[in-house]
A and B are shown apart, each in its own frame.
Chain A
């Protein structure tokens, strides 16, 4: 600073500055402080607003754009797709998306995602708005269940979103029919629900449908409600004529399920959510009772079983009691014959048993029935189609037989089919005809004819006929005489008889004098009788009057 001092010296006229105390901290530091506060606030907000990140697996990423595609719930944006990548082995598309934080509690195992695009399906057109705005991912929040972040996207929008009021039911069926997810559920042809999904059960036995019935119609589903497949057209040809039935044109196209509660049964309580029902193949089938108890019997048929099929009815006196379950074809080496064993299923509950003594066993009845002549027989069930059924009928003429047990089944004895019997009988007749001594008969007949001819042509016969003619003529004449002479006399006699009768009638009429006299006489007689009675009474009380006379 020596130079500076020197400088000061050379410029003595330069005034000195006024010196003041200096503030320690510059106010300029407020700017970065504000910046940091704003920055910190932004970071805090970002962390706060940072929603949960989820991955959704789809089959394809049609219409999905990373950074653009939105996730919407009730058409409100709740998230955005961040990236679209491939899953393992390129078979799936994995969409990573960030959702808004308020959705965090609703990401559970029941949460569902699906791509919403314009879709024209049978029955409806959906997602038209996406034509302009592009596809988006729909979300159905799950309200319960475990928290989940990895989801498998649905291929189709779910039929029923979580907060739709209604009840879910489970249906079981042996076949899918034409039912699809989204197929309608009808109650008396009103659309009251939809099929949510279906799947083959683990064992592959049943198909399990999940149906959703919207409130308030879900109360119509009772414990005893019956569901049936209402897909397509139900054509029936029966004694009532030709009948064609379908729930609606929509169900004709995409299938459907209908339900109704039979009124004849006791009104059961409303079914709870998740109740399982049987899905019947048709409305008709619902009216058939399901019988738990089933007895199986084996029947061997010797004749042709052409027209007998599995499922053919087993009837007793025309009432269906069971059906054919299985058929086989055996060759008996010992008998050197073919035989057809048919397994039939009989539902004993179809037959109401009366007069059963307590403790008595129904099973043993079979033996008794067979002993009484119960036999299985093939009968034509339908003349048009030639289908056969098994009829159990008492055959009094049948050779005696017993129920025997073969393996696990009891074997019912059978008799040949009616047609077979007919054929057998016919054969018998033919054989007898064959055995007839036709030649001899013809010869005898010929001789007889010759004798007759001789008789007819003889002169005696001609004479006899002639005299017979004369006799007849005389007889005719006699009859004519009779009618001419006897008839007038007879008429006169009848006339006299009638006038005699009239006279008698006039005599007895009420205004005739004879009648009046008769009546007077009768009155006199009754007066006399009264006097005699009075006298008798008097005498009884006063017997002395007989001697003394009437006292005065």
Chain B
């Protein structure tokens, strides 16, 4: 990092989100709520309470992830025989029955991506708290990946939604959404919020402070 690179905050400046006016931040007010003198909007040089909020959402996501995996996501009734499948049992079923591309897609979308996202965010938050200096560029890239890939986790929910609406043949064949669907959707949504509340600029802030 060269000496010419500075963040706005470093220069005691902050832009207003609404009216885009650049404002000066007086010394010693870090941590207090600031307002734009022109439009009155709250000015946040960084996302407010980024680390805390990310943590909170991450914890919520982790908590919801457990029932999402344990409870059945689909309840398939064929000829009076009820079969409940969790996400993992569905994946295993597809892999075993030779439909491994389908199994792989479900695995990636339902297990791999959400877990990856949760872990990346957790790592990023922890690295921020520890004021890590390690490869800030790569860490920022990780964050971008997280944002990009996160929404694909909803594939699972879409599949379930479609199946439930399509397969309704009474007692012969019927698919119902299990309780895990709700928790899984909560995990996906909360992770998206968590990724949103994370402020990647903090990665660079800690770098500047070290200098």
Contacts and interface: CB of A to CB of B under 8 A. Distances in A.
Interface of A: 1, 3-5, 7-8, 11, 14-22, 26, 28-29, 31-32, 34-36, 38-39, 42, 68, 132-134
Interface in B146-192: 186, 190
Interface stretch (B32-40, B97-105, B111-119): B32-40
Contacts of B61: 35
Interface stretch (B11-19, B128-136, B198-206): B11-19
Nearest to A134: B81
A19 B12 contact: no
Given A18-B37, A22-B33, A38 B64 contact: yes
Contacts of B80: 132-133
Given A17-B34, A32-B63, A68-B81, A7 B11 contact: yes
A480 to B, nearest CB: 126
Contact of A17 (B37, B67, B79): B37
Contacts of B79: 132-133
Interface of B: 6, 10-14, 21-27, 29, 31-38, 43, 48-49, 52-53, 55-57, 59-61, 63-64, 66-67, 79-81, 83, 186, 190, 193, 197
Contact of B13 (A14, A26, A68, A133): A14
Contacts of A134: 81
B31 A22 contact: yes
A133 B210 CA distance: 69
Contact of B59 (A22, A32, A132): A32
A309 B157 CA distance: 87
Contacts of B29: 17, 19
B33 A20 contact: yes
Contact of B24 (A3, A11, A26): A11
Contacts of B48: 26
B68 to A, nearest CB: 11
Nearest to A30: B56
Nearest to B8: A7
A15 B23 contact: yes
B43 A17 contact: yes
Nearest to B80: A133
Contacts of A5: 12, 27
A4 B14 CA distance: 12
Given A26-B49, A32-B56, A34-B60, A16 B33 contact: no
A171 to B, nearest CB: 41
B53 A28 contact: yes
A31 B191 CA distance: 12
B53 A14 contact: no
A17 B26 contact: yes
A19 B26 contact: yes
B13 A19 contact: no
Contacts of B64: 35, 38-39
7 contacts: A11-B13, A15-B21, A16-B26, A17-B24, A22-B32, A28-B56, A34-B60
B66 A39 contact: yes
Contacts of B57: 28, 31-32
B11 A133 contact: no
Given A22-B33, A32-B56, A17 B14 contact: yes
A8 B53 CA distance: 31
B21 to A, nearest CB: 8
Contacts of A15: 21, 23-24, 37-38
Contacts of A34: 60
A20 B42 CA distance: 10
A8 B38 CA distance: 18
A42 B64 CA distance: 10
Contacts of B55: 32
